[in-house]
Amino acid sequence: MDLFNLEIQNIQFKNKKVPISAEMRPLYRITRLLLVLEYASRKNTASLIKLQLFDWTFQNSERYSVLKNLISTENFPIIKFDPFVIRALNYGIGLGLIEINDTNQNFTLSSKGKEWLFSVKSQEVFQNELQLLKIIKKSITEVKIKELSKGRYKL
């Protein structure tokens, strides 16, 4: 029997739903970024590198101590820039939850984003992230992040 000379009569494809983990869903990522903008950013505004840093931290609870130590150390961690953060920011801007500042290209929490966070906080979700953000507060500034990351990343 020659496999290459078989005559194929009919091919059928069936779409099957594939579960996606919560971390990969855009609204999950958008909400985490909104939390960073509200709790860990001055004037509810943050740069892309700051949002990437916090997203990197949220992906693994062992990294929480790295972020806490960033306040007192001079060692900026090697982080992976996740393309899903960019996608979440794009969706957040499209939904009106996040605004982009034209002068410095930073991201700002909109009033619609504040309303979204209010409804999320009433459901008691994202407790681990909130706990970390309440400890960190606004202590990791944009200036500190830029100083520490200069040697590691070209800004």
* pLDDT digit string, tens, across residues 10-20: 888 888 888 88
Tens digit of each residue's pLDDT (9 = 90 or more) over 118-145? 998 888 889 999 999 999 999 888 888 8
Q: Are 38 and 98 in contact (CB under 8 A)?
A: no
pLDDT score for 10 = 81
pLDDT confidence of residue 2: 59
Residues of the chain with pLDDT under 50: 154-155
Please give the Cα distance from 101 to 50 (Å, whole number).
15
Q: How far apart are CA 56 and CA 67, in angstroms?
A: 10
Q: What is the pLDDT of residue 102?
A: 85
Q: What is the pLDDT of residue 5?
A: 66
**What is the torsional sign of CA 88, 20, 120, 54?**
negative
